Amino acid sequence: MNASSKRKHAGLPAKYVIAACLAVIAGFATVYLSLAPSDNGPGRTQASREAAEPTATGKKGPLAGLSTGYMAAFVARSEPLDLPDFTFDGPNGEKQTSADLKGKVVLLNIWATWCVPCREEMPQLNELQAELGSDNFEVVAINIDKGGADKAKAFLEETGATDLVLYTDPTGKLFATLKAVGMPTTLLLNEDGQEMGRLVGPADWASPEAKRLVEAAIATAG
């Protein structure tokens, strides 16, 4: 690691924790208005409560103890959580589903071109993909802008994210479907497509802490 990288990762990542808190506050109203009524009523299932409340986790599991440093805001689940089915578009506009993500560990990032923290985070996600991307792991960054993929494609080019595949959700429904509460929101999925944990707000995904977290998730794959 060169001197500039050492300076980059030195010290406590206070700005990421603060940004994550602000992202939660900013996103709460959007999520509240987007969720279906059944998610707010007394008849909510345990699964829907856990999806909407990612902090309701224990201190056990394969990722326990790894929410440190730049990953301090990552909330690991004691047990993997099933997610609702969702759809998105591939790089050529082809329709894909959540089932297409199974078979490998996935870092699922929900982002938008108007999200200022996303611009700083995207090169870091790209670095993570470049270093750890394989048949066993992929960074899947899904853009939720409406109006076509051109803006998202230009954004990836501007930020130098050349190792990331262009995935989009032109419906914008993914944010609510996955109970995201801030922008960006990032979910770590196991090879069965289940959520192992999530992080609300920006984070340094090129940090040693992030790589250890992802490597631990990859190690759980059969």
Instruction: Report domain extents, the chain.
Output: 12-219
Position 174 pLDDT exceeds 60 = yes
Please answer whether residues 191 and 221 qualify as being in contact, where contact means their C-beta atoms are separated by less than 8 angstroms: yes
Assigned token pair, 52: 């909407």
Which pLDDT score, from 0 to 100, does residue 14 have?
54
pLDDT digit string, tens, across residues 147-159: 789 999 999 999 9
Q: Which residues have CB under 8 Å from 170's CB, separation 6+?
A: 89, 145, 146, 147, 148, 149
SS3 130: helix
Superfamily covering domain 12-219:
Glutaredoxin (3.40.30.10)
Position 34 pLDDT exceeds 60 = no
pLDDT digit string, tens, across residues 112-139: 999 999 999 999 999 999 999 999 999 9
Phi then psi dihedrals of residue 81, to 5 deg:
-110, 130
Which pLDDT score, from 0 to 100, does residue 13 have?
57
Position 56 pLDDT exceeds 90 = no
Position 10 pLDDT exceeds 60 = no
The residue that leads in pLDDT, 38 or 138, is: 138
- Residue 140's nearest CA partner among 160, 120, 110, 118 is 110
Position 212 pLDDT exceeds 70 = yes
SS3 197: strand
Instruction: Please spell the DSSP secondary structure of 94-121, one letter per residue.
Output: -EEEGGGGTTSEEEEEEE-TT-HHHHHH
The residue that leads in pLDDT, 164 or 12, is: 164
The residue that leads in pLDDT, 41 or 217, is: 217
Residue 169: band (very low, low, confident or very high) from pLDDT cuts 50, 70, 90: very high
pLDDT above 90 coverage of the chain, percent: 69
Cβ neighbours, 10 Å, residue 126: 22
Give mean pLDDT, residues 198-220: 97
Mean per-residue pLDDT over the chain, rounded? 82
- Residue 196's nearest CA partner among 137, 117, 133, 144 is 137
Distances (CA, A) of 42 to 38, 45, 51, 94, 191: 8, 9, 16, 39, 33
Which pLDDT score, from 0 to 100, does residue 208 have?
98
